[in-house]
């Protein structure tokens, strides 16, 4: 019987935005994230000689070839490592609150790396698992680890993987404001490629990253939530600024995102530690004290529906389920 493996999603505080090598998914810069408890994917893989093609069943529905392509990168690597030729059947369940619009490739591809290597009889180290998840989706490399993780960019397949930075067992949390669950116009993969190739602001982004990353690592080590929030917010704003300079230009922000960002600034005026970050979509995530999560949720429920607000705490790394 094959085992089920669980991986949690992560949100970057120092963003990954742009690839040095698109085929191997080697990033242009190191990134640093926090793995969260609220969103995760459970996956089980069976290699079966009777199958004529790989298949992916996500939340009970068989997925098309396009969705299968990221997954096949990981399966092919596992087959190579294990000397297997059989096709695989993947069953996956996304535990993401309905309508959250957060279906993340990070938890999905990390869980797949764990489940596929397990099913193939490989006993991989966390570093090997991180590399395996990375070739499916860059951000998945970080979801192998709980708490804070840094993806070291490296320069080839063997040198590009995430490492644990801090277990985040302190007063930090994240509150999600779900403003829109519609499918995005520009995927993160296409968006980062277009930005690298055409945005004159991209160099400015890259040049400022070392300073943000080292300041963030210091803030995490000091457990300084104010600094973590400030650095994350400015890093996210810079990443999003690069998309406005792309050709053709684009943004992941909507009017609702702006409203949510204003709401976070208003929380700060009330004296709360609250800073936002955003990814390749319109939802806004608030970095805050875990001990303030309930109060912030209550404050924001004056502006947003309860179903739009999801509280998260630091989550664990990849693990087997019983
Ligand atoms: C991140 N994002 O660091 C950044 C910030 C979105 C904005 O990683 O092409 O799905 O599969 O490597 O990991 C989303 O991109 O992209 C992402 P691929 P991925 O979390």
Predicted confidence (pLDDT) per residue in 281-308, tens digit: 999 999 999 999 999 999 999 999 999 9
**Mean pLDDT of the region 188-198:** 97
Q: Do domains 5-169 and 173-312 have the same CATH topology?
A: no
Q: Which of 14, 41, 105, 193 to mutate to test the pocket of ligand 1 (most atoms within 8 A of CB)?
A: 105
Q: How many A from CA of 104 to the centre of ligand 1? A: 9
Residue 268 structure tokens: 């700060």
- Most confident range (mean pLDDT) of 2-6, 99-103, 186-190, 237-241 is 237-241
| CATH architecture type of domain 173-312 | 2-Layer Sandwich (3.30)
Average predicted confidence (pLDDT) for the chain = 95
Tens of pLDDT, residues 265-280: 999 999 999 999 999 9
Cα dihedral 39, 92, 108, 169 sign: positive
| CATH architecture type of domain 5-169 | 2-Layer Sandwich (3.30)
Tens of pLDDT, residues 76-96: 999 999 999 999 999 999 998
How far is Cα 1 from Cα 118, in angstroms, rounded to an integer?
11
**What DSSP designation does 64 have?**
-
ipTM entry: 0.99
- Ligand 1 nearest-atom number relative to CA 136: 11
**Mean pLDDT of the region 154-164:** 98
How far is Cα 22 from Cα 241, in angstroms, rounded to an integer?
22
Q: How many A from CA of 114 to the centre of ligand 1? A: 19
Parse the chain into domains and list their residue ranges.
Answer: 5-169, 173-312
CB-based burial, 28-58: b 16+ in 10 Å, e otherwise: bbbbbbbbbbbbbbbbbbbbeeeeeebbbeb
Q: What pLDDT was estimated at residue 104?
A: 73
Q: What pLDDT was estimated at residue 293?
A: 98
Ligand 1 environment, Cβ below 6 A: 12, 15-17, 25, 31, 105, 137-139, 188-189, 279-280
């Amino acid at each position: 019987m094959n085992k089920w493996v669980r991986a949690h999603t992560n949100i970057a505080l120092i963003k990954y935005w742009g690839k040095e090598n698109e085929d191997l998914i080697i990033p242009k810069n190191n990134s640093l994230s926090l793995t969260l408890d609220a969103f995760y994917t459970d996956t089980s893989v069976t290699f079966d000689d009777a199958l004529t093609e790989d298949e992916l069943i996500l939340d009970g529905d068989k997925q098309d070839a396009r969705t299968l392509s990221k997954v096949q990168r990981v399966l092919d690597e596992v087959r190579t490592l294990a000397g297997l030729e059989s096709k695989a059947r993947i069953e996956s369940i996304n535990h993401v609150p309905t309508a959250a619009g957060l279906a993340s490739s990070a938890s999905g591809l990390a869980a797949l790396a764990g489940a596929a290597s397990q099913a193939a009889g490989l006993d991989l180290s966390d570093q090997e698992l991180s590399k395996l998840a990375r070739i499916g989706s860059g951000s998945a490399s970080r979801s192998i680890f709980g708490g804070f993780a840094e993806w070291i960019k490296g320069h080839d397949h063997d040198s590009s993987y995430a490492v644990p930075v801090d277990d985040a067992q302190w007063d930090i949390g994240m509150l999600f404001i779900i403003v829109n669950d519609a499918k995005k116009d520009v995927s993160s993969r296409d968006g980062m490629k277009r930005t690298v190739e055409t945005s004159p602001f991209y160099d400015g982004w890259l040049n400022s990253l070392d300073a943000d990353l080292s300041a963030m690592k210091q803030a995490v080590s000091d457990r300084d939530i104010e600094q973590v929030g400030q650095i994350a917010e400015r890093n996210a704003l810079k990443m999003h600024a690069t998309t406005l300079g792309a050709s053709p230009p684009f943004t992941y922000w909507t009017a609702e995102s702006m409203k949510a960002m204003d709401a976070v600034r208003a929380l700060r005026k009330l004296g709360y530690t609250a800073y936002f970050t955003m990814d390749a979509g319109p939802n806004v995530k608030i970095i805050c004290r875990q001990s303030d999560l309930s109060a912030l949720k209550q404050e924001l429920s004056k502006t947003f529906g309860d179903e739009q607000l999801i509280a998260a705490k630091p989550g664990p790394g990849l693990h087997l389920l019983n």
